[in-house]
């Protein structure tokens, strides 16, 4: 086995915190959400969205409940500039929604940005520059002082534009020390406070300080330490909204953002389903549903997950993976037999208790709360168990299989799922048809033509019946305590094989006056004492019962 080339890498320094409070905190309210789908997400697409797609996506984000939406980098491309103008000129921005635009700390870029947003009611001007040691030394070739000068010069230019603006636009200022998570913590505080010294925010007029994990280099707890350190040491904590912007290089962006909120942040920038550069941004859908499942109102509407997925996939050309948290097509699906059984029992317990608190094993949330139904939850394959099969038969067809039938049916299901050596998933109708073939329509060598019952006394019944034996009609008769006992007596007299009825149950397969009845019969062989099962279906309970006896008998002699 070859060794991975681990010696080429080293972990970044951790934060020197004597004590930390965030591990004991809980998230008790939704953050301010800012979608960056139309900027950070769009720039990562192989084929960026066109104007029509951007407009559709923007409208959907507004409908979902986003009040802050980053729509682009207007000075970086005519496409972004034109989209910004299109939204403003066509009055497509709801009055309670702020558009956000990104700008670098360069005069001509800031000028173009301010021109792009002219006439908008509410705008977040998002200034950024790279602050990490690696970026400063390798990309820009300057030290900390030059980095601060660059940020402050941009902050002053933006402030001057806003002070001279008389259009009535409400401006909100945002600064990002790009690559915050790989910037020295004390320097991150220093450069942000220098920008804030220029902007002079106040508790009633807050600025946004966004703390990006532009590349995910560390475990989520280190980022939380960095956020807590920043919140403790900035001179402007009561006058700023602390925002998070995490990427998913290590696959932990959701945890990183949740830890960051626990560490004191107020706001989250992210994208639907985590679209973005490299492995993507934090997935706001996952974050929102995570809040919901702890009893916190996420303030975003994902009650129609299928619609959310459709619009995302149509506009971006991306696909939501089958195991994507809360949204993938398989996330509410159980193939495992033990899981299926637990889900089935959990749902029944919920129905019996009438509790409004969701508590079903293996289903952390009710699928219907995100617009999914119960139909795809339990899927049948070779890994399925009795509980899953019982669930499908009951949910789709109203057939409540007794445990003995579940046990006998399971091997047939597994064999069908592994037919021809290939693993396949059985559809509900295929499961029912298999049960029908193996437990109901077992008509050879014996079948039923007609029967009649007469009462000889209060306790004794007589049955006369015409059955078929290998296609030939045969008359049989017998006596007993009730219909089934008398029919069993007649059948035993003709066949010469001793058996008796063990358990019996029946129910209607669907509601209504024309319901079909299904009867489940267990018969016990007089010689080997083994139990054999069969079922019968008819609009008449008596007829379904007699059919079930014949079916169970046919199955018995086929196995002797």
What is the per-residue pLDDT across 205-227, written as a single tens digit (0 to 9) for each? 999 999 999 999 999 999 999 99
Give the pLDDT band of residue 556 (cuts 50, 70, 90).
very high
pLDDT reported for residue 47? 94
Does 336 score more than 80 pLDDT? Answer: no
Asked if residue 309 and residue 358 are part of one domain, the reply reads: no
| Average pLDDT of the residues in 273-301 | 97
Does 420 score more than 90 pLDDT? Answer: no
Asked if residue 546 and residue 472 are part of one domain, the reply reads: yes
Does 421 score more than 70 pLDDT? Answer: no
- Structural domain includes residue 327: no
- Helix 185-199 to helix 144-163 angle, to the nearest 10 degrees? 30
pLDDT reported for residue 513? 43
| Average pLDDT of the residues in 386-396 | 84
Write the DSSP string, 520-544. Answer: EEEEEETTT--EEEEEEEESSHHHH
- Contact between 67 and 84 (Cβ < 8 Å): no
Distance CA 249, CA 280 (A): 7
Of 405, 440, 475, the last residue of a domain is 440
- Which has the closest alpha carbon to 559: 456, 438, 466? 438
Asked if residue 312 and residue 269 are part of one domain, the reply reads: yes
pLDDT reported for residue 378? 66
- Structural domain includes residue 478: yes
Lowest-pLDDT range of 57-66, 99-108, 111-120, 533-542: 533-542
Asked if residue 459 and residue 372 are part of one domain, the reply reads: no
Angle at 351 between CA 348 and CA 353, to 5 degrees: 105
- Contact between 237 and 192 (Cβ < 8 Å): no
- Reported as a single tens digit per residue, the pLDDT across 115-161 is 999 999 999 999 999 998 888 988 888 899 999 999 999 999 999 99
Give the pLDDT band of residue 185 (cuts 50, 70, 90).
very high
| Average pLDDT of the residues in 288-313 | 97
The torsion angles phi and psi of 226, rounded to 5 degrees, stand at -65, -40
Asked if residue 151 and residue 58 are part of one domain, the reply reads: yes
**How far from the centroid of its chain's Cα atoms is residue 379's Cα?**
16
Say which residues have a Cβ less than 8 Å from residue 126's Cβ, sequence separation at least 6: 70, 100, 101, 102, 103, 174, 175, 176, 208, 210
| Average pLDDT of the residues in 484-492 | 91
- Structural domain includes residue 407: yes
Does 422 score more than 80 pLDDT? Answer: no
Distance CA 408, CA 420 (A): 21
- Structural domain includes residue 324: no
Does 328 score more than 80 pLDDT? Answer: yes
Of 417, 440, 463, the last residue of a domain is 440
- Work out how many domains the chain is built from and give that number: 3
Asked if residue 95 and residue 198 are part of one domain, the reply reads: yes
Give the pLDDT band of residue 360 (cuts 50, 70, 90).
very high
Does 512 score more than 50 pLDDT? Answer: no
**In this structure, how many other beta carbons lie within 10 angstroms of the beta carbon of residue 454?**
11
Asked if residue 298 and residue 362 are part of one domain, the reply reads: no
Report the CATH number at residue 551: 3.30.160.270
Asked if residue 409 and residue 269 are part of one domain, the reply reads: no
pLDDT reported for residue 144? 94
Q: What is the pTM of this model?
A: 0.78
Asked if residue 310 and residue 249 are part of one domain, the reply reads: yes
Asked if residue 177 and residue 291 are part of one domain, the reply reads: yes
Asked if residue 165 and residue 66 are part of one domain, the reply reads: yes
pLDDT reported for residue 314? 95
Higher pLDDT, 374 or 47: 47
- Reported as a single tens digit per residue, the pLDDT across 72-88 is 999 999 999 999 999 99
Extract the tokens encoding 466.
């015409």
- Structural domain includes residue 20: no
Give the pLDDT band of residue 376 (cuts 50, 70, 90).
low
Of 440, 466, 496, the last residue of a domain is 440
Asked if residue 515 and residue 482 are part of one domain, the reply reads: yes
Across the chain, mean pLDDT equals 92
Lowest-pLDDT range of 79-93, 164-178, 408-422, 475-489: 408-422
- Structural domain includes residue 12: no
- Contact between 174 and 162 (Cβ < 8 Å): no
Report the CATH number at residue 106: 3.20.20.70
Does 414 score more than 90 pLDDT? Answer: no
Residue span of the structural domain in which 300 resides: 29-316
pLDDT reported for residue 418? 83
Give the pLDDT band of residue 457 (cuts 50, 70, 90).
confident
Lowest-pLDDT range of 98-102, 313-317, 412-416: 412-416
- Structural domain includes residue 153: yes
pLDDT reported for residue 377? 65
pLDDT reported for residue 339? 82
Distance CA 269, CA 33 (A): 6
- Structural domain includes residue 512: yes
């Amino acid at each position: 086995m070859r060794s991975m080339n681990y010696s080429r890498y080293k972990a970044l320094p951790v934060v020197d915190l004597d004590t930390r409070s965030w591990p004991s905190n809980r998230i008790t309210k939704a953050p301010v959400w800012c979608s960056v789908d139309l900027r950070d997400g769009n720039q990562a697409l192989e084929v960026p969205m066109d104007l029509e797609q951007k407009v559709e996506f923007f409208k959907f984000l507004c409908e979902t409940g986003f009040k802050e939406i980053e729509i682009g980098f207007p000075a970086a491309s005519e496409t972004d500039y034109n989209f910004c103008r299109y939204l403003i000129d066509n009055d497509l921005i709801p009055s309670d929604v702020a558009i956000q635009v990104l700008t670098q700390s360069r005069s001509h870029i800031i000028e173009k940005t301010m021109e792009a947003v002219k006439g908008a009611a509410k705008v977040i001007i998002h200034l950024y520059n790279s602050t990490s040691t690696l970026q400063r030394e390798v990309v820009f070739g300057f030290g900390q002082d030059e980095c601060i000068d660059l940020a402050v010069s941009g902050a002053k230019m933006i402030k001057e534009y806003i002070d001279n603006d008389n259009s009535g636009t409400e401006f909100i200022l945002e600064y990002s020390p790009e690559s915050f998570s790989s910037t020295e913590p004390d320097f991150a505080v220093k450069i942000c406070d220098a920008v804030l010294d220029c902007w002079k925010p106040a508790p009633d007029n807050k600025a946004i300080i966004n703390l990006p994990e532009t590349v995910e280099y560390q475990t989520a707890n280190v980022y939380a330490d960095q956020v807590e350190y920043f919140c403790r040491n900035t001179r402007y904590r009561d006058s700023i909204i602390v925002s998070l912007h995490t990427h998913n290089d290590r696959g932990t962006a959701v945890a990183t953002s949740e830890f960051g909120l626990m560490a004191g942040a107020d706001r989250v920038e992210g994208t639907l389903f985590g679209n973005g550069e490299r492995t993507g941004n934090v997935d706001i859908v996952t974050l929102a549903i995570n809040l919901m499942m702890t009893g916190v109102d996420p303030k975003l509407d994902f009650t129609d997950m299928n619609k959310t997925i459709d619009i995302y996939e149509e506009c971006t050309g991306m696909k939501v993976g089958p195991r994507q948290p809360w949204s993938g097509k398989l996330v509410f699906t159980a193939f495992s037999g033990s899981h299926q059984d637990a889900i089935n029992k959990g749902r029944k317990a919920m129905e019996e208790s009438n509790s409004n608190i969701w508590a079903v094993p293996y289903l952390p949330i009710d699928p219907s709360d995100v617009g999914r139904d119960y139909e795809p939850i339990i899927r049948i394959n070779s890994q399925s168990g009795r509980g899953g099969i019982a669930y499908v038969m009951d949910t789709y067809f109203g057939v409540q299989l007794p445990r003995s039938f579940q046990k006998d049916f399971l091997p047939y299901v597994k064999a069908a799922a592994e037919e021809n050596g290939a693993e396949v998933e059985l559809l509900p109708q295929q499961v029912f048809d298999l049960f029908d073939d193996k437990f109901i329509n077992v008509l050879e060598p014996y079948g039923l033509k007609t029967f009649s019952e007469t009462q000889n006394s209060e306790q004794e019944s007589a049955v006369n019946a015409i059955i078929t034996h290998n296609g030939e009609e045969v008359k049989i008769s017998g006596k007993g305590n009730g219909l089934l006992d008398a029919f069993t007596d007649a059948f035993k007299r003709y066949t010469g094989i001793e058996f008796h009825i063990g358990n019996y149950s029946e129910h209607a397969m669907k509601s209504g006056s024309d319901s079909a009845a299904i009867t489940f019969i267990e018969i016990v062989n007089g010689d080997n004492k083994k139990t054999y099962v069969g079922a019968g279906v008819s609009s008449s309970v008596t007829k379904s019962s007699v059919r079930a006896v014949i079916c169970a008998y046919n199955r018995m002699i086929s196995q002797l």
